[in-house]
Structure 1
Amino acid sequence: MLAGNSPFGRELRRRREDAGLSQRQLAEALAALAWDELELRVGVDGNLVSRWERGTAAPRPPYPDLLAQLFRATPEDLGLRPGLPSAREAGGGREPAFEPTMKILDRMLRTGSSNVSDGVLKQLERMTEEAVGEYERLGPLVLVPRLVKQREWVEGLCEGRQTLHQRARLYKVAARLSGLLGSLAIDRGDLATARAYCDEAFQLAELVDNDDLRAWVRGTQTLAEYYGGEYQSCLDLAVDGLRYGRGGEQEARLLVQGQARAAGRLGDTRTVMAAVDRAQELAADYPSGAVSPCLALDGYCGARIDGNAATALLSAGDLEGSRRFAFSALARFDAAGMAGPRSLTRIDIALTFLSDDEPDRAAHIVGEALTISASRPIATVTVRTGQFLDAGRRFLPTASMRHLAELAADWQNPARPGLPRG
């Protein structure tokens, strides 16, 4: 323990004040330096810095070296490591009581031990990426049990011991799985569960301090708020996500899936177009006939951007713009054979024709959408068809709309309806 008003304490305070830092700011700078240089999370705070300056506590490793690096000095310059203590200070001449060698070796073994190998982590990461790619093809009934089991297994691993690097990778996998489960809960209309999963995913992203992961989770959180009718919250989450994802692979998704669609619901056509224009500049290259997943871990493709732009402009009342983007997206969705996007985009197109008082043409297009998804009915198409019929209520006396209503009733998925995904 240092004596009160120690040389180190006085020197630390002088250098801190010369640098214009508060005790809390110095603690934050040390924590950031420990992570950047050592990938080590430390528990320093303003209270500990105050104790150092008052001389009631001495900095333990790695703080002497971190302080020296921060202030561009040596530990000796700061009043630390003045030399070996005298025999009296060391304990009256008694031989120091070091730990037994075997105890040190045992600690070394435990420090480097892990209940997960790099090979297992690579497999977990691959499985998570595959789940993202299979999301729309398999749907909630298949994926939920699988992902719940994987998430529980990962949680069990997290309770064990890993190296810092392995733990960060394990937390990233856990965050992806929670985010996927949150999105699947949105599909089933369970927004409370969706928000809980997404909050957990964001907490894990914070723990590993990963901006790409934070941006990906924010994109998923925008879905929950959008389908919950909380459009301002959706917009706020998208903007916050862009703080983390600006210039990264999630930026385009946040712009069109979150910001543009929420702005469209709020009637802000200018923001819709600004978001769409920027997203188009960022469109990821995909092979012909391929479309990025709706929860893409990498960049959003042009088809996804156009499909979301169509939904956003439809909400904002720009029927011509919505139709133009929808037809552009539809050609690529059809080429990729993606039943969900093919059906949902057709319903967006049908709504533009319905608004132009063309109920027969609109009803025919929705009928096509139902036919495309007939082999695997999905709840999103059911709900969007219901929204179409509600919007066209005044046209129900027409033969085409009556026929569509009967077709929709026969087609409807008996499972619990989910919320629409654009």
Structure 2
Amino acid sequence: MPVGNSMFSAELRQRRETAGYSQRGLADALAALAWDDLRLRVGVDGNLVSRWERGTATPRAPYPDLLCRLFHATPEQLGLRVGLPSQAGPGDGQPAIPFEPRMVIVDRMRRAGSSNVSDNTLDQLERMTVDTVDEYERLGPAALVPRLVEQRGWVEALFDGRQNLRQRARLYRVAARLSGLLGSLAVDRGDLSTARAYCDEAYQLADLVDDDELRAWVRGTQALIEFYAGRYDHCLALAVDGLRYSHGGAQEPRLLAQGQARAAGKLGDARTVAIAVDRARELAHPHPTGTVSPCLALEGYCPARVDGNAATAFLAVGDLDSARRFAFAALARFDAAGMTGPRSLTRIDIALTFLAEDAPEQAVRLVGEALEISATRPIATVAVRAGQFLDAGRRFLPTASMRDLAELAADWQNNARPALPGG
């Protein structure tokens, strides 16, 4: 704009007087706006404003933008730039249309694209949760809980920053996985109240990103919590709700075998047990020889996992032959893979079939092996199942072997903090 632009000079004077500013007051307002909106310190004063109004000086950056912001006007309306005639503005008897200055829009675009977390960081966070699932049974609660609590807190702090919608959705999924894992670890420690809280949080996060697979994964853990709380109707309802989200995908075998079949077994529904187990075995994901899918598998249950849970379900409805068949099939693979928890739990299921057939010595030997296998990593689920075995074998308590086992199991109750119904 050449010096002496009378249109701008007249427009500025009119707008300043209409707004009630003195020339010095306008300068102060521009300086405050520059700091508040742009974090810039500018040297405008009343003398410079006077020169603009006399046409002896031209506003240079950032003053054109600041004037537009202050008066809610476009450069054309202020006479700073030649453009299309304004259809509404001061001087034509109509109020100005309050479009935003272009720099406001550009700055908003910049902020919308800014983020405090990179895609590479999100890749690593997602990898971290997968690694934790893989390490879950090998390391156990004592090693994993402090690590996961720290990671969950770090992810939560990232929410206070800015991310684009795609990145924020990924961050929510990571947070949901971490909370779900902490919920499972709380089950292992027998702290069912804390487990419920973590899983409620995980499910809420899954809902926020409308992720059906994640909802199904969390429902599987929630069903597990209620199974060990002895609330089998709740366990069944949660498993069935999870199946609504699984769509025949990776989480369906777990929900069918660990949730629906086992809960139905405890409720005496042999038909549902059989149907759920058959469907879970159809959907089971093959796994390399000598390996077993993690208990919290993100990619789906392998046949050994399905068979191990099927044994528990058939045992509950009194089908000892099926329970033993599935248990021995699973145990061979659990032993080959060195899976501590499954090796112990499956031995206890087999022991219960022997106990039901009045063969207490074989049964006691298997439970003793189960407790020994898990001695370095005691978990509440093993302690609870051992307690169930002792309850079922009360009539054999006069025998020395059963009394010795009861003493050993009592030590487990103290070390593993077993889950209690309703806990």
Look at both structures and tell me which one has the larger radius of gyration over its CA atoms: 2
Give the distance between the partners of 1:101 and 1:173, measured in 2 at CA: 37
For residues 329 and 136 of structure 1, the distance between their equivalents in structure 2, rounded to whole angstroms, comes to 16
The whole-number CA distance in structure 2 between the counterparts of 1:97 and 1:374 is 73
Structure 1 residues 379 and 304: alpha-carbon distance in aligned structure 2, compared to 1, 3 A threshold: same
User: Is the CA contact 2:188–2:379 (under 8 Å) kept in the aligned structure 1?
Assistant: no
Q: Which residue of 1 aligns with 2:279?
A: 278
2:260 aligned residue: 259
Query: How far apart, CA to CA, are the structure 2 residues paired with 1:415 and 1:268?
Result: 31
> Could you say which residue in structure 1 is the equivalent of 2:189?
188
The one-letter code matched in structure 1 to 2:161 is: G
1:269 matched to which residue of 2?
Answer: 270
Q: How does 1:17-416 map to 2 (within 5 A)?
A: 87=87, 98-409=99-410, 414-416=415-417
Any conservation in 1 of the 2:190–2:380 contact (CA below 8 Å)? no
Question: 2 CA distance for matches of 1:97 and 1:410?
Answer: 76
Measured after TM superposition, the shift of residue 411 of structure 1 is: 6.1
Residue 97 (structure 1) shift? 5.5
Q: Is the 8 A contact 1:268 1:316 kept in 2?
A: yes
Match of 1:38 in 2: none
Deviation at 1:296, TM superposition (A): 0.8
Q: Is the 8 A contact 2:189 2:379 kept in 1?
A: no
Q: 1:411 to 1:282 in 2, by over 3 A?
A: same
Gaps of 5+ in 2: 1-83
Matched to 1:221, the amino acid is: Q
Structure 1 CA distance for aligned equivalents of residues 211 and 412 of structure 2: 44
Task: Give the stretch that moved more between structures: 285-294 or 365-374.
Answer: 365-374
Rounded to whole Å, the distance in 2 between the matches of 1:107 and 1:415 is 54
Letter in 2 for 1:262: A
Structure 2 CA distance for aligned equivalents of residues 95 and 415 of structure 1 = 73
Structure 2: how far apart are the matches of 1:241 and 1:325? 24
Name stretches of at least 5 consecutive residues in structure 1 with no aligned partner: 1-83
Aligned residue identity for 1:115:
N
Higher mean alpha-carbon deviation, 93-102 vs 374-383, is at: 93-102
Cα-Cα RMSD: 2.4
- Alpha-carbon deviation of 1:124? 0.6
Give the 3-state SS of the residue equivalent to 2:384 in structure 1: helix
- Indicate conservation of the 8 Å contact 1:378/1:413, yes or no: no
Match of 2:53 in 1: none
CA distance 1:189–1:403, shift in 2 (3 Å): closer
RCO (CA 8 Å, sep 6+): is it higher in 1 or 2? Answer: 2
Whether the 8 Å contact between 2:228 and 2:381 is mirrored in structure 1 is no
Contact 1:286 1:301 survives alignment (8 Å):
yes
Change in 2 beyond 3 A, CA 1:243/1:89: farther
Mapped to 2, the partners of 1:364 and 1:94 lie a distance apart of 91
Post-superposition offset of 1:187: 1.8
Contact 2:351 2:366 in 1 (8 A): yes
Distance 2:416 2:304 in 1: 29
1:398 deviation in Å?
1.9
Deviation at 1:98, TM superposition (A): 4.2
SS of the residue corresponding to residue 414 of structure 1 reads helix
| 1:145, distance to aligned residue in structure 2 (A) | 1.3
**Does structure 2 retain, via aligned residues, the 8 Å contact 1:377–1:412?**
no
Query: In 2 relative to 1, CA 288–245 (structure 1 residues): closer, same or farther, beyond 3 Å?
Result: same
Helix, strand or coil: the match of 2:382? helix
Change (3 A) 1:411 1:163: closer
Distance 1:290 1:183, change over 3 A: same
Instruction: Give yes or no for contact 1:188–1:419 (8 Å, CA) kept in 2.
Output: no
1:389, distance to aligned residue in structure 2 (A):
1.6
Matched to 2:331, the amino acid is: L
CA–CA separation in structure 2 for the residues paired with 1:276 and 1:170: 35
Shift of 1:386: 2.2
Compared with structure 1, are the counterparts of its residues 309 and 88 closer, same or farther at alpha carbon in structure 2 (3 Å cutoff)? same
Give the Cα–Cα distance (whole angstroms) in 1 for the partners of residues 340 and 237 of structure 2. Answer: 31
- Shift in CA distance, 219/102, structure 1 to aligned 2, threshold 3 Å: same
Q: Quick one: distance in 2 between partners of 1:296 and 1:419?
A: 25
Aligned residues: 337
Q: Distance in 2 between matches of 1:206 and 1:224?
A: 20
Partner Cα separation in structure 2 for residue 419 and residue 143 of structure 1:
22
Tell me: CA distance 1:415–1:186, structure 2 relative to 1, closer, same or farther (3 Å): closer
The answer to whether the 8 Å contact 2:250/2:299 transfers is yes
| Cα displacement string for residues 272-324 of structure 1 (whole angstroms, at most 9, x for unaligned residues) | 01000000000101100110111111110000000000011111111111111
CA deviation map 1:98-117 (0-9, x unaligned): 43333222111101000100
CA distance in structure 2 between the partners assigned to 1:244 and 1:279 by the alignment = 15
CA distance in 2, matches of 1:371, 1:325: 23
